[in-house]
Amino acid sequence: MIILAIESSCDETAAAVSRNGREILSDVVYSQADMHALYGGVVPEIASRQHAEKVSLVAEEALRQAGIGRADIDAVAATCAPGLIGALLVGANFAKACALALGVPFIPVHHIRGHIAACYVADPALEPPFTALVASGGHTVVIDVQDYTRMEVLGASRDDAAGEAFDKIARVLSLPYPGGAALDRLAQGGDPGRYRLPRAGVHGAPFDFSFSGLKTAAVNLVHNTAQKGETVDRAALAAGVCQAVADSIVPRVIEAALHRGRKTVAAAGGVAANSVLRAQLERACRENGLSLCLPPLRLCGDNGSMVAAQAYYEYLAGNIGTSAQNCYATLPASELLTQQV
């Protein structure tokens, strides 16, 4: 089954073509990051307009690189939630129009489910059940993946996602947008023990996180140091933040896997590209006898392959969209993965 999939939930206009889910025939990403960098963050209206300008080109390029024609497409998929609403609507309506014109099904895909599916693309042998960490710009979630479309949220951030904390802290350190990757680079060689930073636990909720305390502590540290006329050790602070995020996330993911008796952990989302988090996950999984799926960096950030892969499993489960399919900016954490978009 050949699926053309569109991803447009934030600032990447992406399209991919998959055969039977995991076999990726093409993967095209147009990043708007340079455009948003001028403003220090994603400007929603600019994102929507950029998607509108680029989505047809990106989709046509995906078909060209896959070496297929329109008649070969069996279904068209798109991310429908969560994300920037204007951005989602451009990609989803483009995909719905393609499906209508081709007379094939339209498959709506939940962005978090898509991120998890990047792990299927990265590791052809990976099959549920497993424990997934999805750490993106807007979400930090620990999920028990019971089947390709049946999942349970075990823990989530109560306030800021790790990605949001990274981006805010990067901004006060005058790093260019997108901040997380730049902060990761700055952290190389910094002393992670130089500054004391809080770890993100929630009392009575063993798998939940809270990153707003870390964000505030780091931002205050930069401002207080400036007020005293001193200079902050930027590399040490960046290293300390990476360490604090990894220390907060990794034990909870391992605990969740052991709690559910899972043998495998899979990590996904833009923050899963973080070098300290990756190293710590590798070590902790090894020490606890768990196997780990850690997708390459290009599959951690938003891309079309993950949507194309998940769409196949949604199709098999009968999760087909109607012509009235809408998009949603947010969904309650409790419903994040238990209901289809």
| Residue number of the CB atom closest to Zn ion | 136
Strands laid side by side in the 151-156 sheet: 151-156, 140-145, 130-135, 264-268, 291-293
Q: Which residues contact 14 (CB under 8 A, 6 or more apart)?
A: 6, 7, 8, 27, 28, 29, 30, 58, 302, 303, 304, 307
Residue 122 or 172 with smaller CB distance to Zn ion: 122
Q: Which range, of 25-33, 53-61, 176-184, 318-326, touches ligand KG4 by CB under 6 A?
A: 176-184
301 binds ligand KG4 (CB under 6 A): yes
C-beta of 99 vs 299, nearer to ligand KG4? 299
Taking alpha carbons only, the member of 84, 133, 143, 131 closest to residue 333 is 143
138 is in an annotated binding site: yes
User: What is the Cα–Cα distance from 122 to 300, expressed in whole angstroms?
Assistant: 10
Backbone angles phi, psi at 295, to 5 degrees: -60, 155
247 is in an annotated binding site: no
Instruction: State yes or no: 145 annotated in a binding site.
Output: no
271 binds ligand KG4 (CB under 6 A): yes
The reply to whether 75 sits in an annotated binding site is: no
Question: Residue 112 — φ and ψ, nearest 5°?
Answer: -70, -40
Q: Do the Cβ atoms of 241 and 183 come closer than 8 Å?
A: yes
The nearest distance, CB 297 to ligand KG4, in angstroms, is 8
Judged by beta carbon, residue 160 or residue 208, the one nearer ligand KG4 is 160
Instruction: Rule CB under 5 A: say whether 136 interacts with Zn ion.
Output: yes
Instruction: Consult the annotation and say whether 155 binds a ligand.
Output: no
Closest separation in Å from C-beta 107 to ligand KG4: 19
Told to check if 32 binds Zn ion by CB under 5 A, we report no
Our finding on whether 190 is near ligand KG4 (CB under 6 A) is: no
Shortest distance (Å) from residue 133 CB to ligand KG4? 12
Q: Does 274 bind ligand KG4 (CB under 6 A)?
A: yes
What is the C-alpha end-to-end distance of the chain, expressed in Å?
A: 22
Residue 209 contacts ligand KG4 per CB under 6 A: no
Out of ligand KG4, Zn ion, none, which partner does residue 190 contact, by CB within 5 to 8 A per kind? none
Q: Which value, to the nearest 10 degrees, does the dihedral of the CA atoms of residues 135, 139, 143, 145 take?
A: -80
> CB of residue 163 vs Zn ion: minimum separation in angstroms?
9
Long-range contact list for 214-220, CB < 8 A, 24+ apart?
214/165, 214/241, 214/244, 214/245, 214/248, 215/160, 215/164, 215/165, 215/168, 215/169, 218/165, 218/169, 218/172, 219/168, 219/169, 219/172
CA distance 192 to 64: 46
Interface with ligand KG4 (CB under 6 A), residue from 163, 192, 213, 240 = 163
For tokens 């947010």, name the residue: 330
Q: How far is the CB of 268 from ligand KG4 (least distance, A)?
A: 8
135 is in an annotated binding site: yes
Q: Tell me which residues in 5-64 interact with ligand KG4 (CB under 6 A).
A: 10
**What Cα–Cα distance (Å) separates residue 31 from each residue in 14, 28, 145, 328?**
8, 10, 29, 22
Nearer to ligand KG4, 144 or 160 (CB): 160
Residue 134 assigned to a binding site: yes
Binding site for Fe cation, residues? 111, 115, 302
Binding site for ligand KG4 (CB under 6 A): 10, 136-138, 163, 166-167, 178-181, 184, 269-271, 273-274, 301-302
Binding site for substrate, residues? 134-138, 167, 180, 184, 274
